[in-house]
A and B are shown apart, each in its own frame.
Chain A
Amino acid sequence: MPSLGADMVAGTLVEWLRRPGDRVRRGDIVAVVETQKGAIEIEIFQDGVIERLLVEVGTTVPVGTPLALVSGIGVGAPAAPTPPPLRPEAVVQAPAPRVPIPGPQVGRPLASPAARRIAQQFGVDLRALRGTGPGGAIVSADVEQAAKAPRRFDPAEMRRAIGAAMARSKREIPHYYLSTTIDITVAQRWMEARNAERPPPQRLLLAAPLLKAVALALRGSPELNGYHGERGFEPSPAIHIGVAIAIRGGGLMAPAIHDVDKLGVDELMAKLRDLGMRARSGGLRSSELSDSTITVTNIGERGVEAVFGIIYPPQVALVGLGKPMERPAVIEGKVLPRRTIVATLSADHRASDGHRGALFLAEMDRLLQAPEQL
């Protein structure tokens, strides 16, 4: 059972998508696990052949419990970065026995995380339902109707999980906080001019250039990007940004967009839209919930001026972006109205100092003054 975030202690296996004898490749989706964050697709971490499934559908097991035996690599939880090699066997020597077991449910119903949660709570079979959501997806109302369940799921469990992870963060991580106001007038105009020439599906939101600026600025500040583990801070060469997304009905999650520094802004925007859709309708993958190297929380247009986040362990920094606002600015002796945004940084003093954090925010500012180069 892979850890899909610091706030996860256990998960329920709701579906096997592969069966013993199947050859799998690293990154294949092999199972679906139900967590407080909804149904997550579990990717396998290495190539091999599935020997045996160790956890039955419907069973809740703690993080770290082996889910399946895969020949060639031994026992381990799918998507775990370093699985313990308990019984390494060569694929050639141990041909996988084809044990006839109930097959995986091919054609898994599309359902929102809330719908899956309620379905599990009330023992409703999602396959028996007809969805009324986007693309025929099953939404919570469909399940509630089938289960005659209360109107909303109880978000208390997710709240407790978030509370536990944040308490751990505040207890263990010596946070420092920085804040700066960035002039985004140029970036906003550049984006508007670009969007004016494009149909809606190709338009950008401000989040795209902002995330790209964060990623590029991180290249010069590796002390802010990576994990704090048992051996202290380990910087990550890859820049995977966890994007905080509020969940309707309460709670939040921060699935990752991978290698943001290498994506063009259009590509990044497409990924952001895709991630938003999947966070809502289900279908997030395990790697997206476990390998962010930093988190960005973007308060959005209807929010407040500034947000000071709590770092999500084992990460070492979090960037907060406030609501874009018109503010008076002094430019060459004149007071002018400018479009601005307050960017904040919460960072781990075990990995960096305020000086580094300040350089990072200043670099973000500099990059946003030339948005066409992002």
Chain B
Amino acid sequence: MTREEVRGLIVETLGNIAPEADASTLDPKADIRESLDIDSLDFLNFVIAVHERLRIDIPEVDYPRLFTLDGAIDYLMQKAAPPK
């Protein structure tokens, strides 16, 4: 997947979780929990949705790496890359 595709997937998933917020204009470095006002239940639903779409494991200890859009893209690209 390209960086742009991963970004699109994240934005779409966040849009499903916070439909009244505009996820497409997110500041890539801002904490999405703050900018989209999502609570821990929303965040868990976000992790579940990404987990199901990309079929990758996201351990709980890695959650902080998903707190920003840029961080989430980096993390998911690394996780989704085929093993070398």
Contacts and interface: CB of A to CB of B under 8 A. Distances in A.
A196 B62 CA distance: 11
Nearest to A195: B60
A196 B41 contact: no
Nearest to A133: B19
Nearest to B42: A276
B51 A302 contact: no
B26 interface: no
B39 interface: yes
B14 to A, nearest CB: 11
A207 B34 CA distance: 20
A197 to B, nearest CB: 10
Contacts of B44: 200, 203, 205, 273
Contacts of B21: 248
A295 interface: no
B16 A133 contact: yes
Contact of B58 (A133, A139, A200, A281): A200
A8 to B, nearest CB: 22
A100 interface: no
A201 B44 CA distance: 8
A370 to B, nearest CB: 22
A266 to B, nearest CB: 14
B47 A200 contact: yes
Contacts of B58: 200
A302 B19 contact: no
Given A134-B19, A139-B19, A192-B60, A207 B40 contact: yes
Interface string B55-74: 00111110000000000000
Report, as a range, how many residues of chain A touch the other chain. Answer: 20 to 34
A302 B34 contact: yes
B4 interface: no
A280 interface: yes
B59 A196 contact: yes
Contacts of A199: 51, 57
Contacts of B33: 302
Given A196-B60, A201-B48, A301 B18 contact: no
A199 B56 CA distance: 10
A248 B59 CA distance: 28
Contacts of B18: 248
Contacts of A114: 20
Interface string A238-273: 000000001011000000000000000000000011
Contacts of A206: 40
Contact of B39 (A134, A201, A300): A300
B8 to A, nearest CB: 15
A316 B15 CA distance: 38
Contacts of A249: 20
Interface in A180-227: 192, 195-196, 199-201, 203, 205-207
Of listed B16, B17, B20, B21, residue having the most chain A CB within 10 A? B20
Given A196-B59, A199-B51, A207 B41 contact: yes
Nearest to B31: A302
Interface string B22-46: 0000000000011001011110110
B64 to A, nearest CB: 11
A147 interface: no
B61 to A, nearest CB: 8
Contact of B48 (A112, A192, A200, A280): A200
Interface of B: 15-21, 33-34, 37, 39-42, 44-45, 47-48, 51-52, 57-61
23 contacts: A112-B20, A133-B16, A137-B19, A195-B60, A196-B59, A196-B60, A200-B44, A200-B48, A200-B51, A200-B58, A201-B48, A201-B51, A201-B52, A203-B44, A203-B60, A205-B40, A206-B40, A248-B18, A249-B20, A273-B44, A302-B33, A302-B34, A302-B39
Given A137-B19, A300-B40, 14 more contacts: A133-B16, A141-B20, A196-B59, A196-B61, A199-B57, A200-B58, A203-B44, A205-B40, A206-B40, A207-B41, A276-B45, A280-B19, A301-B39, A302-B33
Q: Which 6 A-B pairs have the closest CB atoms?
A: A134-B16, A139-B19, A133-B19, A248-B20, A200-B48, A200-B51
